[in-house]
Amino acid sequence: MNDVGDRKSLKKVTMHPFVDQRGMTVPEILAAVVVIMVALVALASAIPLSAYGIQEGSQLTTATFLANQRLEQVKLKQWTVKPVVDDVGVSASATAAPQKAGGITTFPDESPVAAPYTQFTRTVRITDCGIGAGCGGVVHAGQRQVTVTVSYRPLTGQGQAAAGTTKSAIVSLVVAQR
């Protein structure tokens, strides 16, 4: 009988081990609030930095798109041996837009690019690979190196970059005469 009575009292204790707990104390709650606030402040300080990263990625993606768009337009221009047609043109220097025969500019500098890309500028430079050192060491009169540079004013972690500060996406392609 004694054995049975001990089992019943043991069962009561093990079934309800938290009967005497009354909840959290005020200092425990205050400590939890402090920990949560520190975590929220740390997360809030990362928001401007992440916004900068998103904006920078967007600007660079748009600049690359605009450069590739111009490269496609250059590739579509006619440059043939027979009949002799050159609608691609060549830049007279590293700072001059390309011109075809007769001094007609084929791809003028755009500062700014047409809407909705008015915060970007775009330049095209075309080098004749048959002159001088050629293009990347390759000397061939039937090739030209097209370099498109799209520039923009970037953001920083604190906002717009200082006036005159630019970043660029530069894309190059060698085209061959057909």
Each residue's pLDDT tens digit, 89-135: 999 999 999 999 889 999 999 999 999 999 999 999 999 999 988 88
Residue 5 clears pLDDT 80, i.e. is over it? no
Residue percentage of the chain with pLDDT more than 90: 58
Give SS3 for 45. Answer: helix
Q: What is the pLDDT of residue 61?
A: 96
Q: What is the mean predicted confidence (pLDDT) over 145-163? A: 84
d(CA 23, CA 166): 59
Asked if residues 77 and 124 have their Cβ atoms less than 8 Å apart, the reply is: no
Our measurement of the distance from residue 19's CA atom to the centroid of its chain's CA atoms, rounded to an integer in Å, reads: 59
Over 80: is that where the pLDDT of 167 sits?
Answer: yes
Joined tokens for residue 89? 């043109």
What pLDDT, in 10s, does the model give residues 66-95?
999 999 999 999 999 999 999 999 999 999
Measuring CA to CA, which residue among 150, 163, 131 is closest to residue 63? 150
Q: What is the pLDDT of residue 124?
A: 97
Cα–Cα distance for residue pair 61/152, rounded to 1 Å: 11
| Whether the Cβ atoms of residue 149 and residue 115 lie closer than 8 Å to each other | no
What the block records as the tokens of 134 is 């050629």
CB 86 within 8 A of CB 101: yes
- 75 φ/ψ sector (left φ>0, alpha ψ -120 to 50, else beta): alpha
- 80 token code pair: 């043939």
